[in-house]
Amino acid sequence: QVQLVESGGGLVQAGGSLRLSCAASGRTFSSAAMGWFRQAPGKEREFVAAIRWSGGSTYYADSVKGRFTISRDNAKNTVYLQMNSLKPEDTAVYYCAAGLQFLMRVITAIDYDYWGQGTQVTVSS
């Protein structure tokens, strides 16, 4: 089992920044990748960013590339999502997820095995 706890969401004006954190506990050594997804009201959950524990390769959705940065702290079993130049369309509940399979598709939600409870990010115009 892997437990994930997100934090760092909140209300920010357009152009501002937030940093989300995802603290993992439990069988974290078995995780292959960590990802961030988001879901806005009335929309499907969408991929935001992901990072592989081994090697640290990162992946981003086109909509956030150049504005968001995913990183990890292995010692703390924590993954971060630094969000800069935020836009109103970034408003959503952001979820952290952990995947166990080495060959998982990191941009695909169904390939993840564990999910956090989500944290709300609201960007005002």
pLDDT tens digit at each of 125 positions of the chain? 889 999 999 999 999 999 999 999 887 666 789 999 999 999 999 999 999 988 889 999 999 999 999 999 988 889 999 999 999 999 999 999 999 888 889 999 999 999 999 999 999 99
pLDDT of 102 reads 82
Residues 6 or more apart whose Cβ sits within 8 Å of residue 51: 33, 34, 35, 57, 58, 59, 70, 71, 72, 79
Distance in angstroms (rounded) separating the CA atoms of residues 27 and 103: 18
pLDDT of 29 reads 66
pLDDT of 20 reads 98
Handedness of CA 26, 31, 34, 40 (dihedral sign): negative
* Spatial contact of 20 and 118, defined as CB atoms under 8 Å apart: no
